[in-house]
Structure formats: structure tokens, C-alpha cells
Amino acid sequence: QVQLRESGPGLVKPSQTLSLTCTASGYSITTNLHYWSWIRQPPGRGLEYIGYITWSGSTYITPTLESRTSISRDTSKNQFTLHLRDVTPDDAGRYHCAGTTRDPVVAGIELHQYEYDYWGEGSYVTVSS
């Protein structure tokens, strides 16, 4: 049974860097042709796609966040981590990690929760001083 679990600070101050880690169990993130994504949902709004890291370590970040976002991984721990720099209150919300065998951007499924093979419950982040 595959599980994804997000972990990280629940509270971050403005201008700081938010780092959230997704730990996968029951499945290796280096399995061929898998895309591991980060998606967020601000309060009262819809899902927003952030980006992904592939089974081989390549990354894609949505253009609106590209300048202050990166995704890394630790294959020894079967984890991938979102780094979001210079956060503002607009970055608050629930952050989900997810996995799929299709490139979410090419397939047009970035915001379609039920198109992902694996979906984490999410970790809520507040941005406040």
C-alpha cells in the first residue's frame, strides 16, 4: 500500500523559506516514469499546482513560482522536499504531495486530484509574524 505523508512547520514567518517534505512508503520515488508533485490550496480557493520532481531527479516548477521555488529529493529516505523562499501570507494553505505515472503538465491533470495515483492528506501552513 502506497502512502504519501507531508511534514514540515505549521507556521512560517514572512520572508522566510518554507520547506515541506513528502515521505513515500510502500513505493520507491525512483521507480521509472513517476512524477512526484506538490499542489497547494489556499483558504477559500481552489487547488494551485506548484511543480514536480521526476523519478530521475528532473524538476518542473510552474512559471509563477519558478523564481522562488525548488524541489529536491533524498532517495535514501524516499523523500522529496519543496522549498519556497520569501513567503508571504498568500503562500498560506494546505500543501499536498502527489504521485502519478503521467507528466501532470503534459497530460493537463495538474489540478485534478483524482487523476493522481497517490495523494497525501496535506500539511497546513500559516504565514504570520
pLDDT for the residue 46? 96
Q: Is 65 left (phi over 0), alpha (psi -120 to 50) or beta?
A: alpha
pLDDT class of 76 with cuts at 50, 70, 90: very high
Give the chain's end-to-end CA distance (angstroms, integer): 39
Report the chain's mean pLDDT, rounded to a whole number: 97
Residue 94: which of 113, 78, 115, 75 has the closest Cα?
113
Pairing of strands 59-61, 3-7: unpaired
Rounded mean pLDDT, 50-64:
98
Region 52-58 average pLDDT: 98
The grid cell for 44 is 477559500
pLDDT at 1: 82
pLDDT tier at 90, thresholds 50, 70, 90 = very high
Q: Exposed, middle or buried: residue 45 (CB in 10 Å: 0-12, 13-18, 19+)?
A: exposed
**pLDDT the model gives residue 2:** 87
Percentage with pLDDT > 70 across the chain? 100
Residues 53 and 7: their CA atoms lie apart, in Å, by 17
Quick check: 13 pLDDT over 90? yes
